[in-house]
Chains A and B, each alone.
Chain A
Amino acid sequence: MRPRAKKDPPAKKFRTSPGAWRFAALGGALLVGVVALLVVHGRWLVQGPKDARFMRFLRRYGTRNASEVIPDHGAAVDRNGAALDIAPEGSVFQRVLDACALGAEGGAVRLSIDADLQTTAETLMKRKMGAVVALEPTTGKIRALVSAPRAAYLDRALGGLYPPGSTFKVFMAAAALSNGLEPIYNCPASGYRSGPSTPAICDVEARQAARKGRVWKGFGRIGMGEALMHSSNVYFAQLGVAMGPETFGHAVEVARLRDPVTVLSSADVPLVSAGGGVPDGLRAAQLAPVAIGQGALQLTPLAVAMVTAAVADDGLLLAPTLDEKARPELRAQAFDFAAAGRVKTMMRAVVRSGTGRACDIAGLDVCGKTGTAETGRGKDHAWFTCFAPQKQPRLVVTVLVEHGGFGAEAALPVARALLLKARELRYFDS
């Protein structure tokens, strides 16, 4: 038995005694809100199909039901004038075509895509999730653009943001060299801590040795070339901290990593890639995970390809485009001329005797970098980004396989096969 709560004496001016009708009014307001929402819902069902712009969106990108209502797709031809095979599902390629079709209703649009290379890349990415970008570094023309699986609406190549993993070390190396930094660091097996409470950043070899119960004594004192060849996390974490937020931020600004890229500008709907998620306002110690392509850093496969292209083209970054008729346009002077040359040599060493050995194609002088990005869930994302040949780069190929595991095992074979196909298509003949 409980005593009844004592009733307060009623105050005169600021009374606080809720009457039952107030609750009814509140319930009524919620009812009105719900009904209003259902009316809006119904209005979309009625008015939506009458809105020409909305329906244009719907039939290009919308759900299957809607596209069944109005079967209509854009048309486009590849760089050689060959008609491009278009699946009814909205692959990234479909999105590309739609962007031009929305710009110029009717009539085929000439894209920079190479149908042969594109088909090969799509076949290679079958039953995989991920993206492939192949572009010419000296013109910015995109020759293949794949988002796998095709039927997914998520546009992985232009819109998917992923941790770039070790492929970001290419950017770090080029940026550091451009700013006159080329330190030698001690890289012990115990790893590197940027602060007292941060977890140690270790090399893959240390973890593998620990798993097998062996002793690995670390890389010792190494320079940038050797660090890139072995993809040493310990080295690049220290490099990131040494660079500091100011230099790093400046390098990111100069290379325009955060800015979205308009790969196809047309009258109605330009096709724009997602801007890179590069964290801002970090302290020096927080740059350690960012420098190895982890942490809060997220880039699109196109952005990774652009960094590679900038290195390949002696530090000049040409705006990537899908328009065959567009003139090459300088997007940024991303790196120093000399720095880009040095990084090229280092990337050549990666393929000749480092983590990317499997991609060493005789007579092609491939330069590349593997990447294995931790995702926190499932297997790691596998990356491989490369260009060839070293002297006069003709083609950049960037491959991402989601949850593929090691970059050298999952992504590299795709890039290798694509390079072989490109050689067959005479991309590397001068």
Chain B
Amino acid sequence: MKIDFQLILAVGALAVFGTVLQARVAGEAPSLAPLVLGACAFAACACACAGDRVERLLRGRGAWIVWGLAVAVMGALLVFGRRYRGGLYLPGRINPSELVKICTVACVAAWLGAAKDLRDWMRVGAAGAVLAGAIACAGDFGLLAQLVFTGAAMLFVVSWWQGLLAFGALVGGFCLVSLHPVGHLATRFAVWRDPLADMTGAGWQTLQGLAAIVGGGVTGSGFKMGDMDAVPIAASDFVYAALAKDFGLVGCAVVLALWLLVFVRGLKAAAVRARAGETCGALFAAGLVSSLGVQTLLNVAGVLNALPMTGITLPLVSHGGSSFVVTLAMCGALLGLGFDTCPPSPAGSPRRR
């Protein structure tokens, strides 16, 4: 059994950096509670997902239980949810999107891993459509975009041309929506096309973020030197702009490189599971990586105005106690999935411990 220290180091560095940056944006002393809790969640998930445990859990009824949980949470959100600043929250201002995310990845992994004939595929499609419909009803298009991209990536892992087809459909859908955006999507797309059209109104946040990025330059104005008042919602959606203001392009590249390292190590864990013949476990690992990857890319692209703003956060760096802990748990799961319990020996026969 080999422990992936690169993954641990990268995740640890991101978590500590995120905590420090949050404290700096808020102008308070760093709170260590999420860090400690997150470390516990990381270790616990590493143990819980060690080796082939995920595979055994997801084979059989496990997947449907997880799917039911996700649908139940979304249903509860639709029935009991309250609107607060455009988002839908459970009483107590709990945002269950992280939980829904993990459940979705798990059940899609189970179904895709076990799919053998057309009926299986149709079942996957129907169950996924129910979940997607619930999320769309809740109006959380950021989460929907993230999950749909993640699903497409997982499909790609399982089947080359079907994955490409899914990506093609996604791009087509995006073009369709961008031609006829409805509701509050219209504003997002309008800002994306020309943030300067309504610079003191709808484009204000995006432009302030870009102003901070341009102001930060290549090396940034130095830790605590940037004027944080200039960055809107610096703690959550626009944390990348705050990062760019303080540390410049270089700092942003370092953070993104750390995430890339996490992704690569996570995919390595997926490859380990696939080599052991555990399709569901491999897909779960790949799904976790894609989910985190898509989240990172969509957030940063939104801040840079390369894509419309989705309102999703930058994992580990953005504000949010619960999402911080859950993201660390996801990384812990990746670590556990990477435990190589029985690698095939060169001769081809399984080595026994």
Contact = CB atoms under 8 A, between A and B. Distances in A.
B245 A38 contact: no
B156 A26 contact: yes
Interface in A20-63: 20, 22-27, 29-31, 33-34, 36-38, 40-42, 44-45, 48-49, 53-54, 57-58, 61-63
A153 B56 CA distance: 54
A8 B289 CA distance: 24
A20 B275 contact: yes
Contacts of B330: none
**From DSSP, what is the main secondary structure of chain B's interface residues?**
helix
Nearest to B196: A53
Nearest to B277: A7
B113 A16 contact: yes
A41 B244 contact: yes
Contacts of B293: 30, 33
Interface string B251-262: 011001101100
A25 to B, nearest CB: 7
Contacts of B207: 54, 57, 61
Contact of B253 (A22, A38, A44, A154): A38
A269 B199 CA distance: 7
Contacts of B212: 63
A65 interface: yes
Contacts of A64: 215, 227, 230
B15 interface: no
Interface in B211-226: 211-218, 221, 226
B5 interface: no
Most-contacted residue by chain A among B55, B116, B274 (CB, 10 A): B116
Interface string A255-281: 000001000000001111000000100
B256 to A, nearest CB: 5
A62 B121 CA distance: 52
B112 A153 contact: no
A15 interface: yes
Interface string A151-172: 1111000000000000000000
A155 B59 CA distance: 55
Nearest to A268: B199
A423 B309 CA distance: 49
A239 to B, nearest CB: 23
Nearest to B269: A23
A5 B116 CA distance: 17
B210 interface: yes
Interface stretch (B6-14, B140-148, B175-183, B299-307): B299-307
A38 B221 CA distance: 18
Interface in B146-165: 153, 156-160
A296 interface: yes
A23 B157 contact: yes
Contacts of B229: 151-154
Interface in B239-271: 244-245, 249, 252-253, 256-257, 259-260, 263-264, 267-268, 270-271
A30 B84 CA distance: 33
B1 to A, nearest CB: 12
Given A40-B306, A41-B213, A42-B249, A99 B256 contact: no
B353 interface: yes
Contact of B271 (A1, A14, A15, A23): A23
Interface string B75-108: 0000000011000000000000000000000000
B283 interface: yes
A213 interface: no
B320 to A, nearest CB: 16
A38 B252 contact: yes
B214 A58 contact: yes
Given A37-B306, A153-B229, A26 B286 contact: yes
Contact of A37 (B120, B210, B289, B301): B301
B348 interface: no
B125 to A, nearest CB: 13
A40 B218 CA distance: 13
Given A15-B159, A30-B260, A57-B199, A48 B210 contact: yes
Residue from A8, A26, A34, A36 having most chain B Cβ neighbours under 10 A: A26
A11 interface: yes
Contact of A5 (B84, B278, B306): B278
Contacts of B332: none
B237 interface: no
A79 interface: no
Contact of B118 (A1, A14, A99, A260): A14
Given A37-B256, A64-B215, A18 B286 contact: yes
A225 B347 CA distance: 93
A53 B200 CA distance: 13
B215 A5 contact: no
B286 A23 contact: yes
Nearest to A58: B211
A430 interface: no
A24 to B, nearest CB: 8
A23 B249 contact: no
B211 A57 contact: yes
A14 B214 contact: no
A363 interface: no
A61 B211 contact: yes
A31 B261 CA distance: 10
B201 interface: yes
B28 interface: no
A41 B259 contact: no
B313 interface: no
- Find the residue from B51, B156, B218, B304 having the highest chain A CB count within 10 A: B304
Contacts of B342: 2, 4
B103 to A, nearest CB: 20
B116 A14 contact: yes
Given A19-B274, A33-B297, A66-B215, 14 more contacts: A1-B352, A2-B52, A5-B52, A18-B286, A20-B275, A22-B156, A22-B160, A25-B156, A34-B259, A44-B210, A58-B211, A58-B215, A61-B199, A271-B200
8 contacts: A5-B55, A14-B117, A23-B270, A33-B297, A34-B256, A61-B207, A63-B230, A64-B227
Interface of A: 1-2, 4-5, 7-8, 11, 13-20, 22-27, 29-31, 33-34, 36-38, 40-42, 44-45, 48-49, 53-54, 57-58, 61-66, 95, 99, 151-154, 260, 269-272, 279, 296
The 4 closest A-B pairs by CB, nearest first: A63-B215, A62-B211, A65-B215, A48-B214
